[in-house]
A and B are shown apart, each in its own frame.
Chain A
Amino acid sequence: MTENLLEINGLTKAYPGVVANDAVSFAIDKGEVHALLGENGAGKSTLVKMIYGLVRPDLGQMNLLGKRFSPPEPRAARAAGIAMVFQHFSLFEALDVAENIALGMENPPKQRELAARITKVSHAYGLPLDPHRLVGDLSAGERQRVEIIRCLLQEPKLLIMDEPTSVLTPKEVEILFQTLRRIASDGTAILYISHKLEEIRNICDSATILRHGKVVATCTPREKSARELAEMMVGCTLHEPLRQAVEFGDVVLEINDLNAPSRSQFGTALKHINMNVRAGEVLGIGGVAGNGQEELLAAISGETTGKAGTTKFMGQAIGNLGPNPRRKMGVLAAPEERLGHSAAPDMSLTENTLLTAASRQNLVKKGFVDWGKTRKFAKKIIAEFDVRTPGAHTAARALSGGNLQKFVIGREVMQNPRVLIVNQPTWGVDASAAAQIRQSLLDLANNGAAVVVISQDLDELMEISDTFCALNEGELTRPRPAKGLTVEEIGLMLGGAADLEAVNV
């Protein structure tokens, strides 16, 4: 046989109403870093789940090292040498690193022995990790290390990584890539799933591109530009967001020495936040999630209130007002969590329109809801923002992530806000929808609104921000013009990677 590690032949998996994978075939070589590219809903996760034994294919077959491979359950896949690092970590915060790793093993060795192995393997791959630290005290990057080490201890033949960099700072990404190269040079193949095209160009040897469940192309990512890759994914030409040069107007939103308590056990309290956003300006706020992003959005939307003077809109103190009085003035917000926060999952899009548009669009008269008018506005959002759905009566949870996000952003944008703050506007959204959402935010700024974009995606922030600052442990850095910032400077502003230096072996 050849050097092929895993060969996939005509894998097909259909779910009711959608063919998630349609005769997908490709091969991964030993020691290769292979990218799996595709928009949301292209069938990447279904494919990976079949390899990992979580889902059984309807048709087709897989060969591992020339032998027929059809894992009935993840345990069998792991035994065959497949390991996977999921996008969402499955770690217990109250246990230490070694205990967490032992939980994922079939036959865990004694704790002391395991701890020694963890220290050894983690150093060998440049991911130093203290086996006795509590996972609850670790940063997102360090938690990911735990997951990777857990996989490496199995000495896998194939390591699957699902969006590994979405929670990492640039410095952490760099460290991770060094590790991945080292793993690959030892002969382990890596199947790398990501949206981030620059990363894929950086680290992957080859790429398989999926669209609507079918393989549409295979290529060597280094030979293509990020734009070409994106267009292969989407299947059409992408438009880069257009930004007209505008003079900024007066300060519209002013935050003075804002402090706010943490909203959840693992959130972060805001400490002495100061910022100004002018009319026509897009302020990008970077940083790893959980550093006060949710709290900042809540303080501006009015979900958490405080002293009146801490937040000012056009000079008027609004810090003590709730969400609806602020909406009436034109201060609008779109939180990160789509299902359950910015939209109610079981309610229709019409009902979800009422969620934030009631006061500003006059949808309620003398306490009674004007459902006709609400439906009309919902339909307008759906049409204007190209939300793919059977109609305004559809429940929010029936929409795909990208479509619901278009709806949620559209709902705020269509209300002509004076100030709009959004958190992770394109998280989990496919490339074309993301481009559309970014364009709508820029258009809003062009028309004189002050826009605040909180995001973990630095490429996105660099693309659309006029001014950039970073939120780290509840503190906001001094804002700087986004144009001309280097990756190193951004890394310093984010600050989080200072304690995560790679160990040079």
Chain B
Amino acid sequence: MFRLEKRPVPSKAWIIATPVLAVIATMIAGGIMFALLGKDPVEAIRIIFWDPLFSEQFASYSRPQLLVKAGPLILIAIGLSFGFRAGIWNIGAEGQYIIGALFGAGVGLAFYPSQSIFIFPLMIIAGAFGGWIWAMIPAILRTRFNTNEILVSLLLVYVAEHIMAAMSLGLMRNPEGHGFPGSRNFQQYETAFNAELIAGSGMHWGVVAAFIAVIFAYITMSRHILGYQITLAGQAPRAAKFSGVSPNRLIVFCLGISGLLAGLAGLFEVAGPAGQITTSFNQGYGFTAIIVAFLGRLNPVGILLAGLLMALTYIGGDLAQLMMGLPAPAIQAFQGMLLFFLLAMDVLSNFRIRLKKQGAA
């Protein structure tokens, strides 16, 4: 029999090796699933992982999509990772993303058709503020009344969705839109449009913000006392209190930063790739980012890679549906497998496997 034995210190080598192993295991298990569905497994894996980047036929379309999709995921996940490390669970990034988009778009639309160069920066500030203020609701309820931030932040997602629907049908509806729901499209409002910075790359200001967030998070986590306090509070809450960390200040900071980054992601999305507020503007980035944060081990560099990988499976999955007629649930199961194997392989970094010996006496 095998036996698990706890390592005194988590293995550094395995922390790096497990994600790679998990991807390989997913390819094998997923391949078996695709084979059982009667599709060629090798081709399916190739379409998911290889074609979006390197196929001559699709890469010109799907390569920029990689950054477009990964940008908001990374931006939100970085924000969430602060709280998750401290044991503060913001599950409502989707709501903060929506409210950020509404605030940012609202500011932009309010100045239509002004051509001032200050409009786009102002929208960025408004977007960040919107996400932040939405996250402050669970933060203040938690610190004042000790409510559960998981529930409050999650339920506020549905509130945000309703506000968004009301906005796209009412206040923000495009007056020249022939009565269709949805705001003006920022593509037709150049001053406020979050355009591609390099044509054909998918790189827009949101992706830049995501990269900056990664660097900012990396420095905070490894060098700043705040990063230390966050990690300490997550690992040993009593020790954190003994050390002089105020739990309430930490809650406000962690929820605030995650709301702020989610709001930014929403603004860059509405002003760029999405173009307008509609009833179905949100695509679940806020929830997927939770997976990305954990896939990346709550580590900024890990999140960067995890965001790209996640985006790749989305684009590749769409492509596989289109090209091979794979059902959408199969793609979702495939993505689920990836998460499953990653978490399962995690055991290896904290434990080592030993053959069980029989007692001699």
Chain A residues with CB under 8 Å of chain B are: 11, 16, 50, 56-62, 70, 72, 301-303, 322-324, 327, 333, 335, 337, 340-347, 351, 354-356, 358-359, 364, 367-369, 371, 394-395, 397-398
Which listed residue (B9, B238, B357, B361) contacts A70, Cβ 8 A? Answer: B361
- Decide yes or no: A368 and B225 within 8 Å by CB, A61-B361, A344-B232 being known contacts: yes
Which listed residue (A50, A342, A364, A394) contacts B239, Cβ 8 A? Answer: A342
Total A-B residue pairs with C-beta atoms closer than 8 Å? 91
Given contacts A341-B236, A342-B242, A397-B8, 11 further A-B contacts (CB under 8 A): A341-B242, A342-B239, A344-B236, A344-B239, A345-B235, A355-B232, A358-B243, A367-B225, A367-B226, A368-B225, A398-B8
Complex contact A347–B8 (CB within 8 A): no
Complex contact B239–A341 (CB within 8 A): yes
Complex contact A347–B235 (CB within 8 A): yes
Ordered by A's residue number, 10 sampled pairs between the chains whose C-beta atoms are within 8 Å are: A70-B361, A301-B242, A322-B246, A333-B242, A344-B236, A344-B240, A355-B239, A358-B243, A367-B224, A368-B225
Q: Which residues of A contact B228 (CB under 8 A)?
A: 351, 354, 369
Q: Which residues of A contact B223 (CB under 8 A)?
A: 368-369, 371
Q: Which residues of B contact A333 (CB under 8 A)?
A: 242
Residue B162 at the chain A interface, CB threshold 8 Å? no
**Residue of B whose beta carbon sits closest to that of A334:** B242
Chain B residues with CB under 8 Å of chain A are: 5, 8-10, 223-226, 228, 231-232, 235-236, 238-244, 246, 357, 359-361
Interchain nearest-CB distance for B105 vs A (Å):
35
Q: Which residues of A contact B224 (CB under 8 A)?
A: 367-369
Complex contact A56–B236 (CB within 8 A): no
Q: Which residues of A contact B360 (CB under 8 A)?
A: 56-60
- Give the complex CA separation of A57 and B5 in angstroms: 18
Q: Which residues of A contact B361 (CB under 8 A)?
A: 11, 50, 56-57, 59-62, 70
- Give the complex CA separation of A183 and B36 in angstroms: 70
Complex contact B244–A322 (CB within 8 A): yes
Complex contact A303–B359 (CB within 8 A): no
Q: Which residues of A contact B359 (CB under 8 A)?
A: 56-58, 70, 72
Which listed residue (B231, B236, B240, B244) contacts A302, Cβ 8 A? Answer: B244
Interchain nearest-CB distance for A265 vs B (Å):
15
Which listed residue (B9, B232, B241) contacts A398, Cβ 8 A? Answer: B9
Q: Which residues of B contact A301 (CB under 8 A)?
A: 242
**Residue of B whose beta carbon sits closest to that of A327:** B244
Complex contact B242–A303 (CB within 8 A): yes
Complex contact B238–A340 (CB within 8 A): yes
Q: Which residues of A contact B241 (CB under 8 A)?
A: 303
Q: Which residues of A contact B231 (CB under 8 A)?
A: 347
- Give the complex CA separation of A72 and B358 in angstroms: 11
Complex contact B243–A323 (CB within 8 A): yes
Q: Top 9 nearest A-B pairs by Cβ distance? A: A56-B359, A324-B244, A398-B8, A323-B244, A344-B236, A70-B361, A57-B361, A341-B238, A355-B243
Interchain nearest-CB distance for A499 vs B (Å):
33
Complex contact B8–A395 (CB within 8 A): yes
Complex contact A343–B239 (CB within 8 A): yes
Interchain nearest-CB distance for A53 vs B (Å):
10
Q: Which residues of B contact A61 (CB under 8 A)?
A: 361
**Residue of B whose beta carbon sits closest to that of A340:** B236
- Give the complex CA separation of A324 and B229 in angstroms: 13
Complex contact A394–B225 (CB within 8 A): no
- Give the complex CA separation of A219 and B238 in angstroms: 44
Interchain nearest-CB distance for B50 vs A (Å):
38
Q: Which residues of A contact B240 (CB under 8 A)?
A: 344
- Give the complex CA separation of A359 and B228 in angstroms: 14
- Give the complex CA separation of A323 and B238 in angstroms: 13
Q: Which residues of B contact A59 (CB under 8 A)?
A: 360-361
Complex contact A335–B242 (CB within 8 A): yes
Interchain nearest-CB distance for A247 vs B (Å):
33
- Decide yes or no: A346 and B235 within 8 Å by CB, A57-B359, A368-B223, A369-B228 being known contacts: yes
Q: Which residues of A contact B5 (CB under 8 A)?
A: 16
**Residue of B whose beta carbon sits closest to that of A69:** B361
Complex contact B244–A337 (CB within 8 A): no
Q: Which residues of B contact A50 (CB under 8 A)?
A: 361
Q: Which residues of B contact A322 (CB under 8 A)?
A: 244, 246
Q: Which residues of B contact A57 (CB under 8 A)?
A: 359-361
Complex contact B9–A394 (CB within 8 A): yes
Q: Which residues of B contact A323 (CB under 8 A)?
A: 242-244
- Give the complex CA separation of A398 and B243 in angstroms: 21
Q: Which residues of B contact A356 (CB under 8 A)?
A: 242-243
Q: Which residues of B contact A335 (CB under 8 A)?
A: 242
- Give the complex CA separation of A359 and B239 in angstroms: 16
Interchain nearest-CB distance for A292 vs B (Å):
17
Q: Which residues of A contact B235 (CB under 8 A)?
A: 344-347
- Give the complex CA separation of A448 and B236 in angstroms: 33
Q: Which residues of A contact B226 (CB under 8 A)?
A: 367
**Residue of A whose beta carbon sits closest to that of B354:** A16
**Residue of B whose beta carbon sits closest to that of A398:** B8
**Residue of A whose beta carbon sits closest to that of B227:** A369
Interchain nearest-CB distance for B242 vs A (Å):
6
**Residue of B whose beta carbon sits closest to that of A12:** B360
- Give the complex CA separation of A422 and B306 in angstroms: 45
Q: In the complex, which of the residues B5, B224, B236 has the most CB atoms of chain A within 10 Å of its own CB atom? A: B236
- Give the complex CA separation of A359 and B243 in angstroms: 10
Q: Which residues of A contact B246 (CB under 8 A)?
A: 322
